[in-house]
Amino acid sequence: MPSIISPLRTAIREHKRALGAWVTFPSPALARVVARTKGLSWVLIDAEHGLITDQHYYDMVNAVAACGVSPIIRIPADQPWMIKRALDSGAHGVMIPLIESAVGATAVVNACKYPPQGIRGFGPMFTDATGALLSDYAATANDDIVIIVQIELSNAVKEIDAILATGVDVAFIGPFDLSINMGVPFGGTEHEAAIETVRAACQRAGKYSAMYCMDGEQSAKRIAQGFNMVSVTTDIDTLVAGMESAVSRV
């Protein structure tokens, strides 16, 4: 039976590192340019802090998936209807911000999966980007959709073992919010200890550990630390860096 063609899910199943990039502008063309970057297995379509809304999902998902890369949508909040709209657009997975406990993570998993494993309503008419036939989608989606929860709150670090036991696939650290929520300096001893706590818990649980990084140097550091999945840049950071570099050479 056909399954969703998901490079990120494949990387997870084969225990390979997964490099990705962030897209914040509501542009399918830009998403496609980013997705064509060699070495990426996923592109994050950011509807939390980016300028993207659910009206942009379908075209951006298709633009990314057409390049053989997994489109992942970060929704604004942990609402079941937001999860459903993101997945029904054909996204290979969702990223949920600000998960604090196993209760919240369980609700997310339930919203991502069809009965009997969850409560997701059936209506994936626009999931052609996944490569699965509509009639087969429900039978494969529960196993193929990648569920990513963001660890950005101090309580989530304390509850990380319970969160990982709910059926999530990836714990993705948001280092900036985590530093602010903990009330400790970014990159300081306590901050780094919390980051390592999450990574080590993922390793014990057989889950993917992931972290937001802003450039290749940061990404390489976290991969060397043992993280399985990292972002390497964002569209806006790359644009600004490129413009500043060009101007500085004149």
Query: Is 23 domain-assigned?
Result: yes
Q: What is the pLDDT of residue 51?
A: 98
Separation of alpha carbons 238 and 229, rounded Å: 19
Separation of alpha carbons 238 and 246, rounded Å: 12
Q: Is the confidence at residue 132, as pLDDT, over 70? A: no
Q: What is the pLDDT of residue 129?
A: 40
C-beta separation of 108 from 149 below 8 A:
yes
Q: What is the pLDDT of residue 138?
A: 79
Q: Is the confidence at residue 169, as pLDDT, over 50? A: yes
Q: What is the pLDDT of residue 1?
A: 43
Q: What is the CATH number of the domain that holds 32?
A: 3.20.20.60
Residue 228 has phi, psi (to 5 degrees) of -90, -25
Query: Is 2 domain-assigned?
Result: no
Q: What is the pLDDT of residue 223?
A: 98
Q: What is the pLDDT of residue 135?
A: 67
C-beta separation of 163 from 156 below 8 A:
yes
Query: Is 37 domain-assigned?
Result: yes
C-beta separation of 127 from 91 below 8 A:
no
Please provide the average confidence, as pLDDT, over all residues in the chain.
Answer: 95
| Count of domains forming the chain | 1
Residue 6 CA: distances (Å) to CA of 89, 105, 180, 202: 14, 22, 34, 21
Instruction: Using a cut of 0.85, tell me whether the model's pTM lies above it.
Output: yes
Q: What is the pLDDT of residue 204?
A: 98
Q: What is the pLDDT of residue 5?
A: 78
Separation of alpha carbons 233 and 68, rounded Å: 19
What amino acid positions are annotated as catalytic residues? 49
- DSSP category for residue 77: S
Q: Is the confidence at residue 216, as pLDDT, over 80? A: yes
Note down the domain range covering 216: 7-248
Task: Report pLDDT digits (tens) over 100-131.
Answer: 999 999 999 999 999 999 999 988 888 764 55
Query: Is 1 domain-assigned?
Result: no
